[in-house]
Amino acid sequence: MVLVGLLLAGAAVLLVAQGCDSGAGGGGGDDDVAVDGGGGGRDPFAALPDTAEGLTNVSTDLDAVLERGALADACTRWRAGGADRRTQLLCGKWMFFYEGFGTAGVPAVLPEVLIENFPDDIGPGFAKYGMVADPGSAKHLPLGMAPGAKLGNLDTLAFTCASCHFARLPDGRYAVGAANHAYQYGKQNLALAVFPLLAIMGSPADHDPDAIAAIQPLLDKVAADQALKLRLISALIPLAGASSMVPMFPREAEHHYARWPSGTMDFLIEPLPLNDRVHTISKISALWGLPRDDERAATGMAGAQLGWTGSTSSLMVFLRGFVELGGGKLAEWPDDKLLPLAEYIYSLRTPASLTPPPAAEVARGRALFDSAGCIACHDGPRGSGRRLYGFDEVGTDRAMEQWLDGPGFMRPAIAEPLTRKVKSPRLTGAWAFTRFLHNGSVPSLEALLCLVPRAGVTETAYGDAGHDFGCALPMAERQALVSFLKGI
Ligand code: HEC
Ligand code: HEC
């Protein structure tokens, strides 16, 4: 149960009830949507107006991204009433980085002990696992872990949006809403849950060999340093009486955690109480340029198509699910309290590349994007699809088709209808991605357009076949398409 907070995000994406959207997700920002006619008549890649109210969401200066201390009391000021939209967005930004929503997290002592004792392997703020240290944290905690609900007497750290949706761009700038494809979520789980057990008392025979290999450097350090071992034992004493709080992974789950590439994960697996009995892998999405309800309605999309299976109908529905499934009390999180976070997320814009390909190449690729037929499935906001696609249509790994529908799994009553399909994602900002396709199986745009070979993985869930659209075009045209995708 301990890692529920860690895991709740994906479940929230995927499980929230359809049809309970009161429309609050749209927020009432009619003014910031550029819609000129429905569907095909509009340019999917037209720039959205800047509605960030001067907030700094992309910068090399981390302190600037954290608004130089202005986040701390923003929600208090916003909730007191009468504040302006800038305060609302500052409050939403605070929530993005620091709101645990009263969900249960990891006993705080676990990440703290790792950060303190393994600087070379874990790093301040779990930097070695792809997170960013919070400059305001005396304990060197990462941005993306914040106080959660107490577990008995224990303080916990819950995972916030920032753990997965805040990252450094390839050029070194920090960007809110970026998909953290460097984040080694699986390995972090093993370090937090399996490593302490194994370092102190467990037997390797009880654990999956790949999982042990993932944390072996930590285990070696403990084995070689008796003082370190004693420090670990004394730090973890508070957990000793709380066996129900020690997360239990079946071996099979450990195996999966060890193998997910960074930036990918399956949420519906132990120790989350909900295991859908299907192993699927989801790539973390970027949150830039999410369509508001009025924009997607104007383009003919039935819903916001959030999540890879495209089944969550709006951002507000998504946020409600995040709170509820994480074990928070939804009654304490009415829509008006969630709205600052939603408004803030809607204000996130795709950062432009600092080294875009030559403009003429980008323009040539843009024309090819239409003439080669990409536009047929990428004609919605920011190049997303306006409908969902069957796995037969795109040919990508189809494990996700069974998502939430494994043998013997009883779907919770609140579960939305299954789509058995995959969304065609927004394409802007792909220059900053290091993982492509829903399962992150393809490492580059060049590999996606078959300019360099793909690895040829066929193992279920990890497969990198499919979506070979454009692969038969002349090489120069494929290069132009890549230039276009790197230029938007
Ligand atoms: C532990 C990692 C993690 C955390 C924490 C997390 N997310 Fe995500 N998020 C993901 C992954 C992975 C996906 C893709 C999931 C899927 O659909 O299979 C995703 C998808 C989304 C999407 C759908 C985007 C789209 O275009 O389909 C939204 C919106 C989102 N997250 C918002 C949030 C918000 C808001 C928070 C904080 C309240 C949050 N996430 C916390 C990992 C995370
Ligand atoms: C039949 C519909 C269809 C066509 C045609 C199509 N796409 Fe896609 N595209 C999709 C779907 C669906 C996905 C997600 C598939 C998955 O992840 O399993 C996708 C994914 C992508 C991605 C990966 C984005 C990411 O975040 O991982 C890129 C890039 C992309 N398409 C570009 C193109 C280009 C360029 C063309 C034309 C050469 C094209 N697409 C043609 C439907 C289509």
**How does DSSP assign 398-422, residue by residue?**
-GGGGTT--TT----TTPPPP--EE
pLDDT of residue 180: 98
* Residue 112 CB-density burial (10 A; 0-12 exposed, 13-18 middle, 19+ buried): middle
Take atom 34 of ligand 2 and give the residue whose Cα is closest.
Answer: 374
Amino acid at 418: L
Mean pLDDT score of the chain, rounded to an integer? 88
- Nearest-CA neighbor of 343 among 287, 425, 427? 287
For residue 10, pLDDT beyond 50: no
Give the distance (Å) from ligand 2 centre to CA of residue 425. 7
Whether 154 contacts 109, CB under 8 Å? yes
Query: Which range has the worst mean pLDDT, 231-235, 304-308, 388-392, 403-407?
Result: 403-407
Strand (E) or helix (H) holding 112: helix 109-117
Closest CA to 107 of 240, 272, 215, 299: 240
Q: Output the ligand 2 site: residues, CB below 6 A.
A: 372-374, 376-378, 389, 393-394, 396, 422, 424-425, 427, 430, 433, 436-438, 448, 467, 469-470, 481, 485
Instruction: Report which bound ligand comes closest to the CA of 439.
Output: 2
Name the maximum alpha-carbon separation found in the chain.
69
Q: How far is the CA of 179 from the centre of ligand 1 (A)?
A: 9
For ligand 1, atom 17, the nearest C-alpha belongs to 307
Nearest CA, atom 10, ligand 1: 284
Ligand number, closest to the Cα atom of 288: 1
pLDDT exceeds 80 at position 82: yes
**pLDDT given at position 225:** 95
Tell me the ligand closest to 321's alpha carbon: 1
Among candidates 28, 79, 89, which has minimal Cα distance to 57? 89
> What is the pLDDT, as a whole number, of residue 25?
32
With bands split at pLDDT 50, 70 and 90, how would you rate the model's confidence at 151?
A: confident
| Closest of 480, 389, 374 to residue 427, by C-alpha | 374
Over residues 237-248, the pLDDT tens digits come to: 888 766 555 567
Q: How far lies 227's CA from each of 118, 124, 198, 289, in Å?
A: 13, 21, 17, 51
Task: Give 10 Cα–ligand 1 centroid separation in angstroms.
Answer: 6
Q: Whose CA is nearest to atom 15 of ligand 2?
A: 437
- Give the model's pLDDT for residue 326: 73
Topology annotation, domain 359-487 = Cytochrome Bc1 Complex; Chain D, domain 2 (1.10.760)
Arithmetic mean of pLDDT, 23-34: 34
Q: 9 CA distance to ligand 1 centroid (A)?
A: 6
- Over its C-alpha atoms, the chain yields an Rg (Å, rounded) of 22
**pLDDT, average across residues 170-196:** 96
Q: Which of 7, 13, 183, 260 to probe ligand 1 with, by most ligand atoms within 8 A of CB?
A: 13
100 closest CA partner among 165, 163, 161, 147: 147
pLDDT at 244: 55
CA-based nearest residue to 262, from 350, 351, 189, 210: 189
Q: Say what the pLDDT of residue 403 is.
A: 87
- What CA–CA distance (Å, rounded) separates 400 from 420? 7
Which residues fall within 8 angstroms of residue 173, CB to CB, at 6 or more apart? Answer: 58, 59, 60, 351, 354
Share of the chain above pLDDT 90, in %: 70
Q: What is the number of the ligand closest to the CA of 96?
A: 1
pLDDT of residue 157: 94
Question: What is the average per-residue pLDDT within 254-270?
Answer: 92
Give distance in angstroms: CA of 101 to centre of ligand 1. 15
Rounded to the nearest angstrom, the distance between the alpha carbon of 412 and the centre of ligand 2 is: 31
Distance CA 433, CA 455 (A): 18
- pTM of structure: 0.92
pLDDT at 16 > cutoff 50:
no
pLDDT at 233 over 50: yes
Of the pLDDT bands very low, low, confident and very high (cuts 50, 70, 90), residue 273 is: low
Instruction: Give the residue extent of every domain in the chain.
Output: 359-487
**Length of the chain in terms of residues written:** 488
Distance 477 CA to ligand 2 centre (A): 16
Please, are residues 178 and 165 in contact by the beta-carbon 8 Å criterion? yes
Question: In the predicted model, what is the mean pLDDT of residues 75-88?
Answer: 96
* Residue whose tokens read 């009390």: 329
Higher pLDDT, 1 or 295: 295
What is the rounded CA–CA span in Å between residue 239 and residue 4? Answer: 16
Q: What is the mean pLDDT of residues 401-416?
A: 77
* Centre of ligand 2 from the C-alpha of residue 387, in Å: 13
Which residues, judged by CB distance below 6 Å to any ligand atom, belong to the binding site of ligand 1?
A: 9-10, 13, 159-161, 163-165, 185, 265, 282, 284-285, 287, 306-308, 315, 318, 322, 345
Task: Pick the ligand that lies closest to the CA of residue 445.
Answer: 2
Q: How far is the CA of 358 from the centre of ligand 1 (A)?
A: 33
